[in-house]
């Protein structure tokens, strides 16, 4: 029987099957995650994140997903959408300026991804936020941010996978 470390575990498998990671590796992963948080407007390919963590690209991608429950790219998308949501609510910057300030290279990609993740367009979110601005003044900011945080499990790739009805679904076959 192959060792648990060498066995490929499907994404839908319970986290209890995951191999426990060393504290040193977790610190390295957190270092990369902190860099993404601080500079989410920059490009963060897996190669760059792996260099920050001091591990190989493949090991970084697997370990990050195991530690945080989502792949690094999806985490970065979520951070960018969170920042864009805050800027849409709290500033008068144009939607184009917000898209480029949060790291998107295309306004169309920003709008489509924003709509896929949040369920509303950037313009509609801004209108709704301004219409209800007076009602949320008494709610603590930490509660507002938690309630408005995008759902990490319904990022663009998940929605696309559901839309294709499993035509190219994830492989659960062991290699």
| Polymer length of the chain | 175
pLDDT tens-digit profile of 94-116?
999 999 999 999 999 999 999 99
What 8-state DSSP symbol labels residue 119? S
pLDDT tens-digit profile of 23-80?
899 999 999 999 999 999 999 999 999 999 999 999 999 999 999 999 999 999 999 9
What 8-state DSSP symbol labels residue 13? S
Predicted local confidence at residue 141, as pLDDT = 74
- Tell me how far apart the alpha carbons of residues 160 and 77 are, in angstroms, rounded to a whole number: 15
- Tell me how far apart the alpha carbons of residues 88 and 111 are, in angstroms, rounded to a whole number: 12
What 8-state DSSP symbol labels residue 146? H
Residue carrying the six token digits 């792996």: 50
Integer-rounded Cα Rg, in Å, for the chain is: 18
**Sequence-ordered list of residues with C-beta below 8 angstroms from that of 95, at least 6 positions apart, any chain:** 88, 107, 111, 122, 123, 126
C-alpha 41, offset from chain centre: 13
- Tell me how far apart the alpha carbons of residues 82 and 106 are, in angstroms, rounded to a whole number: 17
Predicted local confidence at residue 80, as pLDDT = 94
pLDDT tens-digit profile of 119-161?
999 999 999 888 876 665 667 777 777 776 766 555 555 566 6
Return the number of other C-beta atoms located less than 10 Å from residue 82's C-beta.
Answer: 19
């Amino acid at each position: 029987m192959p060792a648990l470390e060498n066995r490929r575990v499907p994404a839908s498998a319970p986290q209890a099957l995951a191999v426990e990671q060393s504290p040193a590796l977790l610190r390295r992963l957190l270092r990369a995650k902190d860099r993404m948080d601080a500079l989410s407007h920059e490009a963060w390919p897996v190669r760059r994140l792996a260099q920050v963590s001091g591990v190989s690209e493949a090991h970084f991608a697997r370990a990050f997903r195991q530690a945080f429950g989502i792949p690094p790219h999806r985490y970065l998308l979520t951070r960018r959408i969170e920042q864009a949501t805050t800027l849409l609510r709290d500033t008068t910057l144009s939607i184009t300026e917000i898209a480029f300030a949060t790291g998107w290279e295309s306004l169309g990609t920003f709008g489509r991804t924003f709509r896929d993740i949040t369920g509303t367009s950037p313009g509609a979110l801004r209108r709704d936020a301004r219409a209800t601005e007076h009602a949320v003044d008494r709610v603590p900011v930490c509660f507002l941010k938690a309630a408005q945080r995008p759902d990490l499990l319904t990022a663009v790739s998940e929605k696309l996978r559901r839309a294709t009805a499993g035509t190219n679904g994830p492989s659960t076959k062991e290699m």
